[in-house]
């Protein structure tokens, strides 16, 4: 019998079953509006589990641990349930009870062995000189984040953009630790706490004035450590007049932005400020996030369905550009498209690379 903490059971019990959390849920939309794929079913089934009305099976465990991890459901609940928080809390409680789903074991082991859930697919800092060592006390420390190392050209673009903002930008370098964000969302509380401590020590040692992360999951998890996301830092610099946007060539260019699901809207506002950029209205469930990593690794066909649907929508809107804010998402898309940067006549580009060409 599963025994969830009292507070968690209380939260699960507050659900009135309205389904509002399905509205932004990418899993629900990608899987043809199938109820069991949406956020509501996840909450309802976890609630039934907590009351002993259903059995815990390996299949149910995998189901609980694999969604897109975007967190968008939390913004839509009319009774104020932190829907994604409850899902993550349930994952942690299940792990505390010893129920570790097979679907996350590989990622957990890889992280223990290599220090990153992405494992030996990345060599940190390949875009930096081989003997690079970060200087202490930088004005702006560029914490790239694990995923950016899989697409070094995006790391370079982000770093160059930041150099336009400040003369004293210092990349965190090859010893940059994993922030633990991904292990947090898959419920590995202790492991994510260890990562947080390591990151805190790392940043304290380098003692920068401010830190910008290339990954919005890190940036959003560590606001208490002063981390900001790249788009917010660029928007601030635009407002202060340190940089300015350059217009796009030719006709009105239709821009389909795939925002980070943790976006505060800065990326969209920046794009809207570019002359000749016509930023398209996108459905609320279109987002990207490195939480999708698990889906990508465990159920690549789901990721492919998501990507196919996304590109169809963009193409039906006659988009000229598909701009992807989150580097994890860009990296996975790049791999799925086998490095093609043009699909159905649309240019597929990361936000830092696009902005590098349109900001002076």
Q: Is-contact 277 306, C-beta < 8 A? A: no
Residue 225 is encoded by which pair of tokens? Answer: 């450590």
Write the CA distances from 233 to 64, 210, 211, 219, 264, integer angstroms: 35, 10, 10, 11, 12
Q: Which is nearer to ligand SF4, 39 or 359 (CB)?
A: 39
Rule CB under 6 A: choose which of 33, 48, 79, 317 binds ligand SF4.
79
Of the listed pieces 76-84, 93-101, 271-279, 313-321, which binds ligand SF4 according to CB under 6 A? 76-84
329 binds ligand SF4 (CB under 6 A): no
16 binds ligand SF4 (CB under 6 A): yes
Q: How far is it, in rounded angstroms, from Cα 294 to Cα 285?
A: 18
21 binds ligand SF4 (CB under 6 A): yes
> In whole angstroms, what separates CA 137 from the centre of its chain?
28
| CA dihedral sign of residues 115, 231, 249, 157 | negative
Give the number of other Cβ atoms within 10 Å of residue 252's Cβ: 11
Q: Judging by DSSP bridges, how do beta strands 342-343 and 346-350 pair with one another?
A: antiparallel
Rule CB under 6 A: choose which of 5, 19, 119, 152 binds ligand SF4.
19
Rule CB under 6 A: choose which of 77, 146, 215, 218 binds ligand SF4.
77
203 binds ligand SF4 (CB under 6 A): no
358 binds ligand SF4 (CB under 6 A): no
Please give the angle made by the CA atoms of 235, 237 and 241, to the nearest 5 degrees. 115
Which helix H or strand E contains 29, and what residues bound it?
Answer: helix 26-30
Size, binding site for ligand SF4 by CB under 6 A: 28
Q: Which is nearer to ligand SF4, 15 or 95 (CB)?
A: 15
39 binds ligand SF4 (CB under 6 A): yes
Q: Which of residues 81-120 bind ligand SF4 (CB under 6 A)?
A: 81, 83-84
42 binds ligand SF4 (CB under 6 A): yes
259 binds ligand SF4 (CB under 6 A): no
Q: Is-contact 205 136, C-beta < 8 A? A: yes
Residue 254, beta-bridge partner list: 278
| Contacting positions for ligand SF4 (CB under 6 A) | 15-21, 24-27, 39-40, 42-43, 67-73, 76-77, 79, 81, 83-84
């Amino acid at each position: 019998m599963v025994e969830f903490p009292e507070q968690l059971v209380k939260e699960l019990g507050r659900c009135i079953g309205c389904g509002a959390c399905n509205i932004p849920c990418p899993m629900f939309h990608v899987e043809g509006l199938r109820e069991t794929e949406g956020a509501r079913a996840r909450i309802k089934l976890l609630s039934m589990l907590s009351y002993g009305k259903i059995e815990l099976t390996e299949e149910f465990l995998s189901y609980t641990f694999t969604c897109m991890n975007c967190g968008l459901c939390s913004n839509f609940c009319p009774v104020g349930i932190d829907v994604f928080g409850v899902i993550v809390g349930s994952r942690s409680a299940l792990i505390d009870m010893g129920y570790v789903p097979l679907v996350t074991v590989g990622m957990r082991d890889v992280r223990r062995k290599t220090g990153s859930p992405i494992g030996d697919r990345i060599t940190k800092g390949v875009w930096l000189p081989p003997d690079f060592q970060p200087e202490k006390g930088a004005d702006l420390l560029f914490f790239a984040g694990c995923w950016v190392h899989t697409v070094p050209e995006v790391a370079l673009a982000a770093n160059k953009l930041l150099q336009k903002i400040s003369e004293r930008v210092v990349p965190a370098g090859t010893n940059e630790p994993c922030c633990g964000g991904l292990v947090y969302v898959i419920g590995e509380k202790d492991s994510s706490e260890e990562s947080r401590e390591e990151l805190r020590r790392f940043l304290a040692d380098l003692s920068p004035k401010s830190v910008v992360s290339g990954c919005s999951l890190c940036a959003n998890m560590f606001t208490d450590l002063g981390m900001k996301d790249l788009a917010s830092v660029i928007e601030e610099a635009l407002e202060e007049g340190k940089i300015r946007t350059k217009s796009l060539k030719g006709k009105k260019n239709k821009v389909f932005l795939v925002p980070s699901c943790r976006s505060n809207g800065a990326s969209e506002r920046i794009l809207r400020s570019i002359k000749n950029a016509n930023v398209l209205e996108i459905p609320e469930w279109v987002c990207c996030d490195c939480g999708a990593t698990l889906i990508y690794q465990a159920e690549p066909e789901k990721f492919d369905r998501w990507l196919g649907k996304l590109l169809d929508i963009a193409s039906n809107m006659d988009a000229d550009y598909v701009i992807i804010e989150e580097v994890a998402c860009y990296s996975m898309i790049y791999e799925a498209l086998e490095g093609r940067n043009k699909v159905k006549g649309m240019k597929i580009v990361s936000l830092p690379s696009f902005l590098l060409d349109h900001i002076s």
